[in-house]
Amino acid sequence: MTVWKIYLSRFKYVLPVILILLVITIFPLVYSLSLSFFHCDLRTGGRWIFAGVDNYVQALFHDSRVWSSFRNTLMIGGPSIGLQLLIGLGLAILLHRNIYGKSVIISLLVTPVMISPIVAGLKWRMLYHEKYGAINAFLRMLGLDAQWAWLADRNLAVLAVIFTDVWVWTPLVMMVVLAGLQSIPLECYESAKIDGASSFQAFSYITLPLLKLPILAVVLIRMIDTIKLFDIIYVLTMGGPGGRTETISFYAYLVGFRHFRMGYAAAISYIILIVTIALTMIFIRLMRPKEA
């Protein structure tokens, strides 16, 4: 009996935290899941009308904007993650060396990732301004007749979103890869040097294989964040021009909070969740060490 009293006395300290987590996570999850099986339009009073899987069928087979939004998410996220990985890897390798002012440089480079995405989007929105933006002004200084409408042109808008996302999140990739580089034992490089391996061979056969797990981990994190990409889109383009930068998360927002179709928006959100879980499981399998 004494053991149970000790156990309960310890449990009462974590019970408030568990209750708070249940309220802020489990309840919204169950509520939104049940909502996805109903027609609920706030414009007609918000009555719940049972729909079964109609919302999911509508989203997957009859709503072309769902698939175009997924395509836009891929077109933005693919190049963005690729650039972040290349730039972050290069910066991490550079900062892994003993250079003067290393700590100051790292502090300056990680500044973008500490800024709210909304604030970063507002900063870049000013930079992209067609007439008064610093980017077009710099291009005019180089002798170019730059009056480019970065956020109004269909192709330039995609590039603008990609550049902004790369600027914000490359420091995260850099820090993860840098931590991976610092965990590699120096004995590996010393042995390779004794065996006559070149710097390129040491990088190809030692550095990259040992960085596989950190790279896959940070790509997984950035992939999940890209699927949820909303803040930068909302500030820069609102999904335009012509839906060119409308990501799947932003489309779910439009359905729910602009068209007030809450049940349909919940169904789209759970489709996003299922896709995210599937991609996460694939990456986790890739991250598992292979058995000999």
pLDDT tens across 44-81, in order?
Answer: 888 899 999 999 999 999 999 999 999 999 999 999 99
3-state secondary structure the chain: CHHHHHHHHHHHHHHHHHHHHHHHHHHHHHHHHHHCCEECEHHHCCCCEECCCHHHHHHHHHCHHHHHHHHHHHHHHHHHHHHHHHHHHHHHHHHCCCCCCHHHHHHHHCHHHHCCHHHHHHHHHHHCCCCCCHHHHHHHHCCCCCCCCCCCCHHHHHHHHHHHHHHHHHHHHHHHHHHHHHCCCHHHHHHHHHCCCCHHHHHHHHHHHHCHHHHHHHHHHHHHHHHCCCHHHHHHCCCCCCCCCCCHHHHHHHHHHCCCEHHHHHHHHHHHHHHHHHHHHHHHHHHCCCCC
Is a pLDDT exceeding 90 seen at residue 87? yes
* CATH code for residues 48-287: 1.10.3720.10
Share the mean pLDDT of the chain.
89
pLDDT score, position 157: 94
Rg (alpha carbons) of the chain, rounded to whole number: 24
Please tell me which residue, 191 or 288, carries the higher pLDDT value: 191
pLDDT band for position 292 (cuts 50, 70, 90): very low
Tokens of 144: 């170019």
> What pLDDT is stored for residue 7 in this prediction?
67
Q: Say if residue 290's pLDDT is above 70.
A: no
Lowest mean pLDDT segment, chosen from 34-43, 84-93, 193-202: 193-202
Burial 216-231, CB ≥16 within 10 A → b, else e:
eebbbbbbebbbebeb
* pLDDT, mean of residues 247-276: 94
- Judge whether residue 21 has pLDDT over 60: yes
Is 82 a residue whose pLDDT tops 70?
yes
How many Å apart are CA 237 and CA 151, to the nearest integer? 6
Task: Check residue 209 and give its pLDDT.
Answer: 87
- The percentage of residues in the chain with a pLDDT greater than 70, rounded to a whole number, is 96
Confidence tier at 291 by pLDDT (50, 70, 90): very low
Q: Per mean pLDDT, which of 1-5, 136-140, 158-162 is the most reliable?
A: 158-162
Q: How far apart are CA 10 and CA 4, in angstroms?
A: 10
Residue 229 has pLDDT above 50, yes or no: yes
Chain segment 97-144, per-residue pLDDT in tens = 888 888 888 889 999 988 888 999 999 999 998 888 899 888 888 888
